[in-house]
Amino acid sequence: MIEHQRTPLYETLVKHRWKGATSYHVPGHKNGNVFYERGKTLFQDILSIDLTEISGLDDLHEPGGVIQEAQELASTHFGSRASYFLVGGSTAGNLASVLAASEREGPILIQRNSHKSIYNGLELSGASTVLIAPRYSVRTGLYHDLHVEDVIEAVEQFQDASAIVLTYPDYYGNTYDLKSIIDYAHQFDIPVIVDEAHGVHLHLDPRLPSSAIELGADIVVHSAHKMAPAMTMGAFLHHCSSRVDINRIQHYLQLIQSSSPSYPIMASLDLSRAYLASLDEKEIGRILERIETERKLMASPHHYEVIPHHATDDPFKTTLRVQEGYNGQEIARRLEGVGLFPELVQDSHILLVHGLDYSELNTIEKRWEKAHNSLKSMQGNHATIETEVMNYPAITRMPYPYQQLKHWVTKEVTAEEAVGQLSACSVIPYPPGIPLIAKGEIITEGQINELRRLQQSNLHIQSSECNLQKGLLIYER
């Protein structure tokens, strides 16, 4: 039996630290000895293991020592054929996966509500793209009901597809019948790549939705820092079958990832895997009980609904659905005022992410009590801004492959003039980083109306290629 309590990379870094060695190598902070005094105390410990590929510390891009050993422990723990450390977040894994899959002939099928890194991978690859839209959920007021029959229909239409790229669970913790989709795709030898950024913990307990690895996905990407105790930008890519060439995955990871990967991030991945492996059924049970207690503390009779969990929902996500007459941003300001900081705030919804923690709730109880006292003064003065329900077609083939669009001329137009035109930029509310308008798709009036609503609400929008104050960038046809 493998000793999953072992953390070979972290242990090696600590041993090197205790040598007190003189650094004649990068980085320039020299084991933390050269650093601006203001931050030295806080950074000192982490800088002492912020090293480079010196003797004994291995090489992420050609591992044969402690990094390889740590990755093999991760592979055994998660149940993959091979697992890789990512220091550029799940973005790096998504890019590498899409680029590797796009070397096959045929379009790539993706969920419309995929993370922007999936779209970026498609643009880099030049691939032809088919969008599969999740349906609007009356239960939650969100677009996250991916119907199996829609994916099956897309596969039937595009049996030559290079890959299917799915998000599971979604940002709000919703899952679906992924097993049926994978089994059907495999009948056509189509690989299934799963962006499981928010699901690194799902394999821990049968009370949680099944993990994509358990369900037979070919490539799975975990953003370890989201739900496991890893440093920000720490992630895993798991290779699970021969449908995607492992050599191409390794090739693209070397292209995408830094040639100077962060050893603290990699060590945190080593430690987070050991932490996950250390949790037993009893501890998971205590964590789930704590979450239920927190959800009861959150309950508000007037301002929002704590959306009930279904069997397909990840219990580590709690979504508050704002009641009519109130505004999510104002509610969130009051929560933050007492020390409660949500993951995502919209006019109509607030997302809260729970941790793998079962410590005492005394402080949290007091903060929720203060929050409810603060909310009592809200008398519906902050009216909810109406959200338009956009009914996307279940299946949409993007009009042109990204490769073809690279050579087209673009021009800037007003938002009104952009309706019916081909978008030359992506408009991405962040978080969650899911494009409202994807580069290369036909812009609809509904999308423009939603963009105006987001701007009116002062929600953060990423769009490096568009000046949204002036309009949108479109392709001239």
pLDDT in tens, 396-425: 999 999 999 988 999 999 989 999 999 999
For residue 392, pLDDT beyond 60: yes
**Distance, CA of 210 to CA of 217 (rounded, Å):** 12
Pairing of strands 349-353, 219-222: unpaired
For residue 3, pLDDT beyond 80: no
**Distance, CA of 197 to CA of 313 (rounded, Å):** 15
Residue carrying structure tokens 């990068």: 26
**Distance, CA of 104 to CA of 123 (rounded, Å):** 15
Range of 440's domain? Answer: 408-475
Q: Do 241 and 291 reside in the same domain of the chain?
A: no
Region 14-25: mean pLDDT is 96
**Distance, CA of 401 to CA of 416 (rounded, Å):** 25
Q: Which residues contact 24 (CB under 8 A, 6 or more apart)?
A: none
Six-digit token pair at 131?
Answer: 């969008």
* pLDDT tens digit sequence for 295-331: 999 998 899 999 999 999 999 999 999 999 999 999 9
- Kindly state whether residue 427 falls inside one of the protein's structural domains: yes
Region 100-109: mean pLDDT is 94
Q: Is residue 393 packed enough to be buried (19+ CB in 10 Å), middle (13-18) or exposed (0-12)?
A: exposed
30-34, 184-188, 448-452: range with lowest mean pLDDT: 448-452
**Distance, CA of 300 to CA of 336 (rounded, Å):** 16
Region 222-241: mean pLDDT is 98
127-141, 211-225, 371-385: range with lowest mean pLDDT: 371-385
pLDDT category at 381 given cuts 50, 70, 90 is low
**Distance, CA of 66 to CA of 437 (rounded, Å):** 43
For residue 338, pLDDT beyond 60: yes
Last residue of a domain, one of 278, 299, 332: 278
How many domains is the chain partitioned into structurally? Answer: 3
For residue 115, pLDDT beyond 80: yes
CATH of the domain at 432: 3.90.105.10
Q: Which residues contact 27 (CB under 8 A, 6 or more apart)?
A: 50, 51, 52
- Cα–Cα distance list, 250 to 76, 283, 353 (Å): 19, 36, 32
- Kindly state whether residue 384 falls inside one of the protein's structural domains: no
Q: Do 290 and 272 reside in the same domain of the chain?
A: no
Q: Do 185 and 269 reside in the same domain of the chain?
A: yes
Query: E-assigned strands of 169-283?
Result: 192-195, 219-222, 235-239
Six-digit token pair at 98?
Answer: 């899409």
Six-digit token pair at 52?
Answer: 């480079």
Q: Which residues contact 181 (CB under 8 A, 6 or more apart)?
A: 148, 151, 152, 164, 166, 192
**Given this model, what pLDDT does residue 384 score?**
47
CA dihedral 179, 180, 182, 187 (to 10 degrees): 140
Q: Do 196 and 317 reside in the same domain of the chain?
A: no
Average pLDDT, the chain: 94
- Kindly state whether residue 150 falls inside one of the protein's structural domains: no
**Distance, CA of 251 to CA of 331 (rounded, Å):** 47
**Given this model, what pLDDT does residue 477 score?**
80
Region 14-38: mean pLDDT is 96
For residue 455, pLDDT beyond 90: no
Residue, of 103 and 466, whose pLDDT is higher: 103
**Distance, CA of 278 to CA of 460 (rounded, Å):** 38
**3-class DSSP assignment, residue 423:** strand
Region 250-263: mean pLDDT is 98
For residue 272, pLDDT beyond 80: yes
Positive or negative, the CA dihedral 56, 59, 62, 67 is positive
**Distance, CA of 126 to CA of 98 (rounded, Å):** 11
Q: Do 271 and 324 reside in the same domain of the chain?
A: no
What is the distance between the terminal CA atoms of the chain, rounded to a whole angstrom?
A: 62
For residue 389, pLDDT beyond 80: no
Question: Percent of the chain scored above 90 by pLDDT?
Answer: 83
Q: Do 73 and 173 reside in the same domain of the chain?
A: yes
pTM: 0.94
**Given this model, what pLDDT does residue 360 score?**
83
Query: E-assigned strands of 88-222?
Result: 108-111, 129-132, 135-137, 142-145, 163-167, 192-195, 219-222
Q: Do 461 and 437 reside in the same domain of the chain?
A: yes
Q: Do 58 and 205 reside in the same domain of the chain?
A: yes
Last residue of a domain, one of 233, 251, 278: 278
Residue, of 385 and 213, whose pLDDT is higher: 213
Sequential DSSP letters for 279-299 = --HHHHHHHHHHHHHHHHHH-
**Distance, CA of 131 to CA of 110 (rounded, Å):** 5
Q: φ, ψ for residue 119 (rounded to 5)?
A: -60, -40
Q: Do 100 and 195 reside in the same domain of the chain?
A: yes
13-22, 208-217, 228-237, 390-399: range with lowest mean pLDDT: 390-399
Residues 145 and 137 sit within 8 Å (Cβ to Cβ)? yes
* pLDDT tens digit sequence for 156-169: 999 999 999 999 99
For residue 371, pLDDT beyond 80: yes
**Given this model, what pLDDT does residue 387 score?**
58
55-64, 200-209, 230-239, 423-432: range with lowest mean pLDDT: 423-432
**Given this model, what pLDDT does residue 250 score?**
98
- Kindly state whether residue 419 falls inside one of the protein's structural domains: yes
- Kindly state whether residue 19 falls inside one of the protein's structural domains: yes
Q: Do 191 and 258 reside in the same domain of the chain?
A: yes
Region 101-106: mean pLDDT is 91
**Given this model, what pLDDT does residue 471 score?**
84
Q: How far is CA 395 from the centre of its chain?
A: 23
Q: Do 159 and 25 reside in the same domain of the chain?
A: yes
Residue carrying structure tokens 């949108």: 472
Region 434-444: mean pLDDT is 92
- Kindly state whether residue 342 falls inside one of the protein's structural domains: yes
Q: Do 99 and 185 reside in the same domain of the chain?
A: yes
Last residue of a domain, one of 224, 248, 278: 278
pLDDT category at 138 given cuts 50, 70, 90 is confident
Six-digit token pair at 383?
Answer: 């009216």
- Cα–Cα distance list, 56 to 11, 53, 67, 71, 95 (Å): 12, 8, 10, 16, 30
* pLDDT tens digit sequence for 63-80: 999 999 999 999 999 999
- Kindly state whether residue 85 falls inside one of the protein's structural domains: yes
CATH of the domain at 89: 3.40.640.10
pLDDT category at 2 given cuts 50, 70, 90 is low
CATH of the domain at 300: 3.90.1150.150
- Kindly state whether residue 184 falls inside one of the protein's structural domains: yes
Residue, of 387 and 376, whose pLDDT is higher: 376
For residue 1, pLDDT beyond 70: no
